[in-house]
Structure 1
């Protein structure tokens, strides 16, 4: 037999209100994932991952394009807010590694207040080339947050032209 309490009544009202919203199940799925993450962190690391990894933001994979230009490969990577001095680029005969890190801080002192902001972002991406390249002839430029790397192939292949196919 169920005891009627204010808590049970409030819980029923909440679940009824959620049932009327067509997107209520998204909230429920979010709660499940949050619960899973907390249980996982507690079990394997003894608490939130932030305690293990520190306060820094995680390393992100930049969005990239790998383009076959026939005689060379072109790699374009999005590195917003990163200066060229903060990019570490390594090219081998079969792949490329892009690393970048950006740190900024800003402080203002006024008569009645103190203002301080810090940002940190890190990027890392490793790609393999489908053909062997001449790593020692690679060149790179960074403009408007886009890193472009050009790497000549060891044995150039003719550029493949796309063929338009009609759809019936």
Structure 2
């Protein structure tokens, strides 16, 4: 174990200090994840699920996402949330040498076994998507049997 060398670093011996070590230190600093930033390109969206007596309430954090970029489907009790976000800047008056575009796609799937596919409500407000999924009415099929 003592002989293992971390990726992109050299041994820290006194005889082995040079320009390459300084370069590796700069690479580690600029490619690290500090400060921690969350984006659709590098992370999935977070969800909270509440189970009430009559419905499920799902809240998903979608900062910077428009409602046109969100697709919600419910199929056989499985709620699928998918987000597709594409950022393209068009400016034809400038002569570009280098131009970048971003495209991010992610989805989450939640099993809501007793969900009713009628009456689902969804609202996107201030970066939070709130979905209300009603539950199917529970029919008590158990019979009480009296012993003689």
Give TM-score, length-normalised by structure 1.
0.51
Secondary structure of the equivalent of 2:88? strand
Provide the residue aligned with 1:13 in structure 2.
14
Provide the residue aligned with 2:38 in structure 1.
none
Distance 1:140 1:123, change over 3 A: same
Check if 1:64 corresponds to 2:34.
no
Secondary structure of the equivalent of 2:85? strand
Check if 1:153 corresponds to 2:138.
no
CA distance in 1, matches of 2:131, 2:93: 45
Distance 1:111 1:75, change over 3 A: closer
Secondary structure of the equivalent of 1:102? strand
Instruction: Quote the RMSD (CA, aligned, Å).
Output: 3.1
Give TM-score, length-normalised by structure 2.
0.58
Check if 1:118 corresponds to 2:98.
no
Q: CA deviation at 1:84?
A: 1.0
Aligned residues: 106
Which runs of 5 or more structure 1 residues have no equivalent in the other structure? 1-9, 17-26, 28-56, 157-168
Deviations 1:107-147 (A, max 9, x none): 45677865644222212000112x50111221111112211
Moved over 4 A (4+): 107-115
Distance 1:112 1:137, change over 3 A: closer
Provide the residue aligned with 1:90 in structure 2.
73
More helix by share: 1
